A = this chain, B = another copy of it.
């Protein structure tokens, strides 16, 4: 690995610390180096707060370290437009940094390349495209969201060897190992939202919060086309109910919707297609709330709908070494995941985790 790549990896490492807190902004980390040594670091910590470049520059200035003539590394092109904060590009020029190394360009078509151009116009050497794949991977939620206006979708499934997610009585407890359940809680804190269907609320009454890991709770989205779910379910009655969003159809009565809204639960009305919620319409409306990523946690009907509509970006399948015999199938469709770009396997307790990305 070259020194450039090592420093970019450090940017990615720093950037990752913001996971779960910066949406709908990207994850950005920044490193300032002089004579091949890191002299300051920073990352974007929270939506609305300083950008990574500003944090790194301020960190150096605060300690009285000169950054004149230094090299700045950042995984995403610095901004050149006036947003919530001053443009990073101006800050870089002002501090007479001599070289900027960038992972990937800004994906916004209107601003992509503008930051780089302004830096060059001010005599700063710019190199872009270092660890491009890794930078894209880290910000896959943000990149998909910006480019398509739809959140990044990961379908998570916990099943037995014979593809069952519950026994014939819809009991799904204890299929996967504790390690796997812990990992799912870690996922929840990185995704902006988790999503389930009506049936899962009725059978499992889950809270979908982060318990076996430290971190913030995600938004909890439920699809309930007729708005029939009982308001005493955990999602609608626990102390996080302001983070619950219900997706329902356009033709549900205002009175029904009001019953949810007066509890501080958000209701989004969507188009229907063939009697079912038009998922694409729902995802566009969810995206408008600043939700860039969704972890679909089932059940079978919901996961299968996302697969059928080709709306999944990734699949995480936990397989427990157990044969159920009779039970509820995880999927009710036929799909060949072998043609997805990346397939990885990991051990998770006694389970295996298959990670598949498009």
Q: What is the interface of chain A, defined by CB distance below 8 A to chain B?
A: 159-164, 177, 307, 317, 319-326, 329-338, 340, 343, 345, 347, 350, 352, 354, 356
- Assess the A350–B338 pair: CB atoms within 8 A: yes
Cross-chain pairs A/B with CB under 8 angstroms, 15 sampled: A161-B319, A161-B330, A161-B337, A161-B354, A162-B329, A163-B163, A177-B338, A320-B338, A321-B338, A323-B336, A325-B333, A325-B335, A326-B334, A345-B345, A345-B352
Give the residues in chain B near A336, CB-CB below 8 Å: 322-323
- Assess the B331–A162 pair: CB atoms within 8 A: yes
Across the interface, A338 reaches (CB within 8 A) one of B159, B162, B307, B322, namely: B322
Give the residues in chain B near A330, CB-CB below 8 Å: 161-162
- Which B residue's beta carbon lies closest to that of A346? B345
Oligomeric state, in copies: 2
Write the nearest CB–CB distance from A140 to chain B, whole angstroms.
20
Give the residues in chain B near A162, CB-CB below 8 Å: 162-163, 329-331
Across the interface, A321 reaches (CB within 8 A) one of B322, B323, B343, B347, namely: B343
Given contacts A338-B350, A343-B350, A350-B338, contact A321 B356 (CB under 8 A): yes
- Assess the A325–B331 pair: CB atoms within 8 A: yes
- Assess the B321–A325 pair: CB atoms within 8 A: no
- Assess the A323–B335 pair: CB atoms within 8 A: yes
Q: Most B CB atoms within 10 A — which of A162, A320, A326?
A: A162
Across the interface, A323 reaches (CB within 8 A) one of B164, B319, B322, B334, namely: B334
